[in-house]
Structure 1
Amino acid sequence: MSNYQAKNNAAEPEVAPKRRRKFWIASGVAGLTGVVSIAAVGISTGAGAVGTDGLRWSTAQQVSKDGDQGAVAPEEHKGKKDDRRDENKDDRRDDKREHGKEVPCDTDKLIQSIIFANENHGGVLNLAKGCTYKLTRSDTSDGSGPNGLPVITESVVLKGHDTKIVRDATGEDFRILNVGRGGNLTVKGLTIKGGQTSPFAVSPATAETPEAVWSRFSNSVEATKAAEAKQAYLPLLQATPKGIAVKAKATQANGDVSVLAEPESNDGAGVLVQPGGTASFEETHIVANQAGGVGGGLANFGKASLYHTTVADNTAFLYGGGIFNAGVLRVAASTVKNNDAIIGGGGIANGAAFIFRSDIDGGTAWIEKTEITSNEVLGFGGGLLDIEGNTTVKHSKIANNTAVLAGGGVAAAGDSSLELQHVEVIKNTTVGVGGGLALAFGAIASVEHSKIDENKAGFFGAGVFNFLGQATFRNSTINGNRAVGPLGVGGGIFTIGGEIDLEKTKVAYNFATLRPGGVFSLLTDVEVDDKSAITANKPTNCEGTITPIPNCFG
């Protein structure tokens, strides 16, 4: 019998949720410092609950039906016909499993169908066309947190046709789907909506803030504050990031900081994929979910793939407003838009860093033919963030994203490996540094056949900001970026330490309030080959830089 109780659901009116841009950030920060607890709700089985027996495929009826077909064969041919009948029965059973079980528009029956599939080596579930399965209760029996549907532990396919699975707005906090170890979930043609997990209660002394976390990788926040106060800011940019010392002190007090292998109960409001789990989504919408931890729409600690899928209007109180990854992630021909996070990765976050808890190393992320647009974050990595992971983006667009501190389009930090090929990083914005791309403290980037154009920053590096990172730009453009603040420097590139290589790359038509408008370098080994050009930048190309840049004039 099921531990779930859910009311039958009527079709939900198709009402597009209003975007509440910039609304939730203030309330979200307040929520982080408030006292919020997760209450486990015990659910008992009611008298009207549906048993799994009522939903079983009737193999006895199938065998009886098959056995009635055809006349009795002569003795000398009986064995062959029996063999054929056996083969036909096997084929029909396989066909039955392939075509799946029809699930009526009833939430209880959906739950029981998943339970039955888990108990019987998986199955294909055809969900009712145009139905909204509305979830009102949750289960916490497996210890992974409140889940609106049973944890997937076998190979389960959910096929929808304009079908929605939603958390009822008046229900308790819980995620929609959870894929456990050994589970393999395939989702086609569904909308997954309204999942919500509660943030953990934290004290002001242990609250993670975007500024504190970013200061582990760069002193840009301190430097911009010094510049605003008309104080010397370059010494701060050259110094060891002060957040490293804070993290070291926290580590000494709390023990060794190791990689977090297991998700928390408030991760993944729409979908959670646990270590050892696999999930794939096709022609699916993961929308309007809110996580108190990481991964508003999807938190992947196993393997996940998205194809022709939209991840939109999700929020996360920590990292990965749309998607968080610490496993193996593939996103193809999809859209990630209008998602929000507080610390990092408004659209997608591959990995996470903290001060008072264990870090989560990024996994491997492949992003192809995908648009990452109009996402926002209070911290860094408005569109995309990689922390100590491996991220490859090809034939994609990262546009119109916003970050307050750094990396309006893309941010990478720590031992991060970032590869961009045929990617447009355009029209992104930050109040701080790195409007298009921000690299910090050991990040390595390879950018080929790509555009980092028309991005804006309030301070340093409207196109590219680099602090102790390494970047190679081949056959690319860094054009039309604007460091528009009163102290804006390095409209094209602003780099402190590390290495920058320009190969067949054009840095042109960038603007900065203060010179240079093209490339500013301090203690950076900048290599410019004879097929690259730094030209037509204002007020200067490189004049005003501290460390000379070869093949740059004016």
Structure 2
Amino acid sequence: MGVDSVRGKRRWYVAAVGGLAGLTGVAAVGVLTAGAAAAGPSVLTGQEAASTLQVTRPVADGSKDLDGQKMGDSEDHGKDGSEDGDSHEPGTQIRNNTAETGGGAIYNTGLLTVEGVRVSYNDTTANFGGGVENDGGVATVSRSRVDHNTAGSDSGGIDSEPGSITQVKDSWVTDNTSGGTGGGIGNFDGSLYVQRTTVRHNTGPAGGGGISNFGGRAVVDDSKVDENTTYENGGGVVNGEDGGQFVLRDSTVDQNRAIGETSQGGGIANFAPPDPAGSVTLTNTRVSENFATNPPGGILSGNNQVTVDDDSVIIKNRPTNCQGNPVGVVIPNCFG
């Protein structure tokens, strides 16, 4: 385990595995496993080579009050609206940290598991991943809450960089803000899998208020992407250049907003540079009640690489569902 300084505060990291950095002045309770470290008076137990961290002191920084809401309270996920039956307040809380580089709270280049943790009110001033940055490693976030984090660049909550494998399961990614794309989650030439997770109330001003995907493959399964905001295109989801593939299965994209002067695609925006084009696939997914300043309000695409199966619905978007796309672009099973 090593230590350096960030803005005059102590910053711990696991040098042997390059696991986690950017924790400044925080104490927490619980267990983080695989490539992790923490700041302040916390205690590292076990073998560094196993990259397991036992943090045994309760949250004590006192600089922000937690809202006391238990996981699951008014925070549901899944297309059927059901709540996680194992709701609980996360045992570990990582909050109020600042990093000048990526990963306001957690920076991973190795193998990282975050389970039953609240990552909140962290920021990275000019880089990616206000809460968590996975930079070429393998990261799993499960049964956790990632909220109220801020990134100066992309990916307000969770960032997945080239070559990364990032899984977010049974979790809540809410109220995060980026300075660019991906208010909640951003994936850049990595592999992203989101399952049974709510992505809500995030803001990505440059596109993808909820989730952005550029060049990588993103799969969202049995999840909610709702009430997110952008000032460009794609209030809920933006799928960008370099052949990005975005798959939504058994999910909802509802009540997102694209509210800039020239914004389109309140629900989903799929861009199409000349080569290769991005693609979006919807299976048993609802895109509804999204809003954009300019049509279409539901799905915007620059190409014909949007696939919508017969079990998916695109309804009640404003000002239109799909009308207003470029000439020649047809979104299947989308009317008006």
In structure 2, do the counterparts of structure 1 residues 285 and 486 end up closer, same or farther at CA, with 3 Å as the change threshold? farther
Q: Which residue in the other structure is 2:144 paired with?
A: 370
Counterparts of residues 202-213 of structure 1 (less than 5 Å) = none
CA contact (8 A) 2:121 2:148 kept: yes
Q: Which residue in the other structure is 2:131 paired with?
A: 347
Pairwise CA distance, 1:174: 6.2
Where does structure 2 lack aligned partners over 5 or more consecutive residues? Answer: 18-22, 27-34, 62-89, 272-276
CA distance in structure 1 between the partners assigned to 2:56 and 2:227 by the alignment: 32
Where does structure 1 lack aligned partners over 5 or more consecutive residues? Answer: 1-141, 148-166, 183-191, 196-262, 289-306, 352-361
Counterparts of residues 39-438 of structure 1 (less than 5 Å) = 146=4, 173=8, 175=10, 177=12, 179=14, 181=16, 194=25, 276=49, 278-282=51-55, 308-341=91-124, 342-351=126-135, 362-388=136-162, 389-414=164-189, 416-438=190-212
**Amino acid of the structure 1 residue aligned with 2:313:** A
Structural RMSD (CA): 2.8
Q: Which residue in the other structure is 2:331 paired with?
A: 549
Q: Which has the higher contact order (CA 8 A, sep 6+)?
A: 2
Q: Which residue in the other structure is 1:443 paired with?
A: 216
CA distance in structure 1 between the partners assigned to 2:48 and 2:207 by the alignment: 35
Q: Which residue in the other structure is 1:67 paired with?
A: none
In structure 2, do the counterparts of structure 1 residues 178 and 403 end up closer, same or farther at CA, with 3 Å as the change threshold? closer
Provide Cα deviations, 1:236-289, integer angstroms capped at 9, x if missing partner.
Answer: xxxxxxxxxxxxxxxxxxxxxxxxxxx9xxx98669x9994612235556787x
Counterparts of residues 468-507 of structure 1 (less than 5 Å) = 468-496=243-271, 497-507=277-287
Q: Secondary structure of the equivalent of 1:429?
A: coil
CA distance in structure 2 between the partners assigned to 1:495 and 1:268 by the alignment: 39
**Amino acid of the structure 2 residue aligned with 1:522:** G
Provide Cα deviations, 1:491-540, integer angstroms capped at 9, x if missing partner.
Answer: 00010131111000000000000000000001251110000001110000
CA contact (8 A) 2:112 2:140 kept: yes
In structure 2, do the counterparts of structure 1 residues 457 and 275 end up closer, same or farther at CA, with 3 Å as the change threshold? farther
CA contact (8 A) 1:174 1:269 kept: no
In structure 2, do the counterparts of structure 1 residues 537 and 366 end up closer, same or farther at CA, with 3 Å as the change threshold? same
CA distance in structure 1 between the partners assigned to 2:291 and 2:107 by the alignment: 34
Provide Cα deviations, 1:207-254, integer angstroms capped at 9, x if missing partner.
Answer: xxxxxxxxxxxxxxxxxxxxxxxxxxxxxxxxxxxxxxxxxxxxxxxx
**Amino acid of the structure 2 residue aligned with 1:328:** L
Provide Cα deviations, 1:33-88, integer angstroms capped at 9, x if missing partner.
Answer: xxxxxxxxxxxxxxxxxxxxxxxxxxxxxxxxxxxxxxxxxxxxxxxxxxxxxxxx
CA contact (8 A) 1:417 1:445 kept: yes
**Amino acid of the structure 2 residue aligned with 1:338:** Y
CA distance in structure 2 between the partners assigned to 1:286 and 1:363 by the alignment: 28
Q: Secondary structure of the equivalent of 1:420?
A: strand
CA contact (8 A) 1:510 1:536 kept: yes
CA distance in structure 1 between the partners assigned to 2:4 and 2:93 by the alignment: 24
CA distance in structure 2 between the partners assigned to 1:411 and 1:285 by the alignment: 31
CA distance in structure 1 between the partners assigned to 2:154 and 2:13 by the alignment: 28
CA distance in structure 1 between the partners assigned to 2:157 and 2:111 by the alignment: 19
CA contact (8 A) 1:374 1:402 kept: yes
In structure 2, do the counterparts of structure 1 residues 345 and 193 end up closer, same or farther at CA, with 3 Å as the change threshold? closer
CA distance in structure 2 between the partners assigned to 1:470 and 1:322 by the alignment: 28
CA distance in structure 2 between the partners assigned to 1:511 and 1:404 by the alignment: 21
CA contact (8 A) 1:337 1:347 kept: yes
CA distance in structure 1 between the partners assigned to 2:306 and 2:231 by the alignment: 24
Give the percent of matched residue pairs that are identical in Structure 1 and Structure 2. 37
CA distance in structure 2 between the partners assigned to 1:417 and 1:318 by the alignment: 22
**Amino acid of the structure 1 residue aligned with 2:309:** D
CA contact (8 A) 2:24 2:39 kept: no
| More strand per residue | 2
CA contact (8 A) 2:24 2:97 kept: no
Q: Which residue in the other structure is 1:81 paired with?
A: none
CA distance in structure 1 between the partners assigned to 2:258 and 2:98 by the alignment: 29
| More helix per residue | 1
TM-score where L is the length of structure 1: 0.47
Q: Secondary structure of the equivalent of 1:430?
A: coil
CA distance in structure 1 between the partners assigned to 2:306 and 2:56 by the alignment: 45
Q: Which residue in the other structure is 2:230 paired with?
A: 457
In structure 2, do the counterparts of structure 1 residues 458 and 382 end up closer, same or farther at CA, with 3 Å as the change threshold? same
TM-score where L is the length of structure 2: 0.76
Aligned residues: 279
CA contact (8 A) 1:495 1:524 kept: no
**Amino acid of the structure 2 residue aligned with 1:532:** S
CA distance in structure 1 between the partners assigned to 2:307 and 2:57 by the alignment: 45
CA distance in structure 1 between the partners assigned to 2:187 and 2:96 by the alignment: 23
CA distance in structure 1 between the partners assigned to 2:48 and 2:109 by the alignment: 9
CA distance in structure 1 between the partners assigned to 2:152 and 2:301 by the alignment: 27
CA contact (8 A) 2:131 2:146 kept: yes
CA distance in structure 2 between the partners assigned to 1:506 and 1:485 by the alignment: 24
**Amino acid of the structure 1 residue aligned with 2:258:** A
Q: Secondary structure of the equivalent of 1:488?
A: coil
